Structure 1
Amino acid sequence: MTREEKSIVIENLTTQLADSTNIYLADISGLDAGTTSNLRRACFKAGVKLAVVKNTLLSKAMDASDKDFAELPEVLKGNTAIMLSETGNAPAKVIKEFRKKSEKPLLKGAFIEEAIYVGDDQLDALVDIKSREELIGEIVGLLQSPAKNVISALKSGGGTIAGIIKTLSEKEG
């Protein structure tokens, strides 16, 4: 690979890192072609972009990025695949599901919404991370429940002003 080609790859990687809020680094060494193809298929179905990268080029892209990857460049040893996703836990779920049939991929590290996770032992914690949409759904549900309680109380009060006042006074007491 020429110096010019390397600089183009670094520039592309830097752009991908800048555009992604959820970045996983995994070790997929030792997977045969068929298994790797199955992993790529699983990633595609989950909306995860998977690419095998050269460690030195990825390290230079991390250095060129505006993001603080802390100790993540230190895990760039051996074979490294980068997994990019819109959903924070999607790559972790793909890895965990895939590991039911294979020993790999192993999680090297992850950058999730500014937080750094290093090591394969972090996989379960990453699977449990809720997506932005899941959190918004929970908040909306929590906000709706008091309103539903008031509405049901008003309905059970008979609909008369006296019934509504009585129901509201019982709720406060």
Structure 2
Amino acid sequence: MDRVKKEQLVAELHEKLQRATAAILTDFRGLSVAEITELRDNLAQQGVEFKVVKNTLMRIAAKGTGAEVLEPLLQGTNAVAIAYDDPTVSAKILKAFGKTNDKFQVKGGVLGTRELTVQDVLALADLPSREELLAKLLGTLHAVPTALVRVLGGVPRAFVGVLAAIQREKENA
């Protein structure tokens, strides 16, 4: 690869790392092309890019981004999953893929500017997605006014019940 192409690749990768909400570094050694393609397709369906990167180009591209903390992990064969929206999606897919492919390993990652260990990435995979959290929040916000209306409606209902009981007493007397 000539110098111009390398510079263009580094600039493109740098821009992607700056926009990313999360980047997860993986070791794909021992996987077949078909397996990597399957993983790349699964990630792409969720808007996550999966790129095989040379360590030196990744080091240069990561300068000035949150992914700079990944530099100690840049040894051996590496691919990076770059998520732009929900960081849990990429972690979930990588974790599931790792369960079915023993050779695949997550090395670590970065969430914003915070470095993630392998355990952190796996914990991130166990978190609910953004949509699930928003649905839970909406349910909670909806429950509070509903309960308030129910309580406020109970007072007049009880009052009407008391009046009906008084009327029955007068009729029976």
Q: TM-score range by the shorter chain?
A: 0.7 to 0.9
Question: Do the aligned partners of 1:88 and 1:129 also contact (CA within 8 Å) in 2?
Answer: no
Number of aligned residues:
159
2:119 partner SS: helix
In structure 1, stretches of 5+ residues that fail to align are 164-173
Letter aligned with residue 30 of structure 1: G
For normalisation by structure 2, the TM-score amounts to 0.79
- Gaps in structure 2 of 5+ consecutive residues: 161-173
Q: For 2:125, which of 124, 127, 139 is the aligned residue?
A: 127
**Counterparts of 1:14-163 in structure 2 under 5 Å?**
14-63=14-63, 65=64, 67-69=65-67, 71-85=69-83, 86-118=85-117, 120-158=118-156
Based on CA coordinates, which of the two structures has the bigger radius of gyration? 2
Whole-angstrom distance in 1 between the partners of 2:78 and 2:10: 15
CA change 1:130–1:6 in 2 (3 A) is: same
Work out whether residues 23 and 81 of structure 2, in 8 Å CA contact, stay in contact via their aligned partners in 1. yes
Which letter maps to 1:59? R
State whether residues 88 and 130 of structure 1, in contact with CA within 8 Å, keep that contact through their aligned partners in structure 2: no
What root-mean-square deviation, in Å, do the aligned CA atoms of Structure 1 and Structure 2 show? 2.2
* Post-superposition CA distance 1:78-131 (Å, at most 9, x none): 11111112211111111121123211431112111332102x333321212344
The alpha carbon displacement at 1:132 in A equals 4.0
Q: 1:35-73 deviations in whole A, cap 9, x for unaligned?
A: 11221222123332111111110110111x3x3445311
Higher helix share: 2
**Identical aligned residues as a percent:** 28
